[in-house]
Amino acid sequence: METDGERAAGAVGSGRATAPWSLVVPLKPLALAKSRLAGAVGPPERPRLALAFAQDTVVAALACAAVRDVVVVTDDPVAAPRLAALGARVVPDRPAAGLNAALAHGAEVVRALRPGAAVATLNADLPALRPAELERVLAVAGRFPRAFLADAADIGTTFLSAAPGIELRPAFGGASRLRHLSSGAVEIRLGGVASVRRDVDTGADLRAALELGVGRCTAERCRAGALRAG
């Protein structure tokens, strides 16, 4: 029988009560986010695009059949209500503690509501994310205590999971693929999941994401001319 916490967690977002995974999505304040895109998009567009990436990531994550709920960790006053309106549960960040503290905090929030949750983190800059590809990654991740997916460049990480009862131990930042590998997490090597690996840090990354096909919010911003030619 479900506990109150489990019922509360199940009521979050559009996830369904039988789906195993709770996802934690971290989002920096939009004014600071995606600084490496500054050369490719104008100053007013950079935070708008960062929000669009997060919206498309959350929409696709919530549309994944294996996802029960999505917790966004952010202090951004514009993004928080927008992402909550999509069905995410939004929790405040840890003050000035950085990405890994934000992720650990999000995982704690999930487990406080649902102690037996399988938890995975997903970066908020995956505008091409496809629900079916995420489902395939989650199916493989579910076989291991901890697992991760390298980013498209094979340097960083876009996804890290922890089975029920297992601590997440996030080690994101820069070249995190090797850090996650040496922490004992299993690397998921799977074809056909390019959208889950396609994080967007630069203009070239954004072009690559557009080639894969991005979600509605990012597509609208790019149609409105967010991406400079070149």
Ligand X SMILES: C=C(OP(=O)(O)O)C(=O)O
Ligand Y SMILES: Nc1nc2c(ncn2[C@@H]2O[C@H](COP(=O)(O)OP(=O)(O)OP(=O)(O)O)[C@@H](O)[C@H]2O)c(=O)[nH]1
Q: Which residues bind ligand X (CB under 6 A)?
A: 151, 156-157, 172-174, 176, 199, 201
Site pattern 82..121 for ligand Y (x: CB under 6 A): -----------x----xx--x-------------------
* Smallest separation, CB 114 to ligand Y (Å): 21
Q: By 3-state DSSP, what share of the chain in percent is helix, strand and coil, each rounded to 5?
A: 40, 15, 45
Site pattern 191..220 for ligand Y (x: CB under 6 A): --------x-x-------------------
Radius of gyration of the CA atoms of the chain, in A? 16
Please, which residue, 96 or 229, has the CB nearer to ligand X? 96
| Angle made by CA atoms 174, 126, 185, in degrees to the nearest 5 | 50
The count of chain residues that interact with ligand Y, using the rule CB under 6 A, is 18
Please, which residue, 49 or 222, has the CB nearer to ligand Y? 49
* Smallest separation, CB 139 to ligand X (Å): 22
Nearest to 161 by CA among 97, 103, 98: 103
Q: Is 35 annotated as a binding residue?
A: no
Please, which residue, 125 or 135, has the CB nearer to ligand Y? 125
Give the count of beta carbons closer than 10 Å to the beta carbon of residue 79. Answer: 25
Cα gap 167→161, rounded to integer Å:
9
Residue 168 backbone dihedrals phi, psi, to 5 degrees: -70, -45
Amino acid letter, 147: A
Amino acid letter, 157: T
Please, which residue, 14 or 202, has the CB nearer to ligand X? 202
* Smallest separation, CB 214 to ligand X (Å): 17
Q: Choose the contact partner of 7 out of ligand Y, ligand X, none; CB within 5 to 8 A by kind.
A: none
Please, which residue, 77 or 174, has the CB nearer to ligand X? 174
99-113 and 4-11 helices, crossing angle to 10°: 120
Strand 186-187 and strand 146-150: pairing? Answer: parallel
Residue matched to tokens 């693929």: 177
74: contact with ligand Y by CB under 6 A = yes
Q: Is 18 annotated as a binding residue?
A: no
Cα torsion through 18, 162, 109, 112, rounded to 10:
70
The binding site for phosphoenolpyruvate consists of 157, 173, 176
The binding site consists of 157, 173, 176
**Residues at the contact surface with ligand Y, assessed by CB under 6 A:** 26-28, 33-36, 73-74, 93, 98-99, 102, 123-125, 199, 201
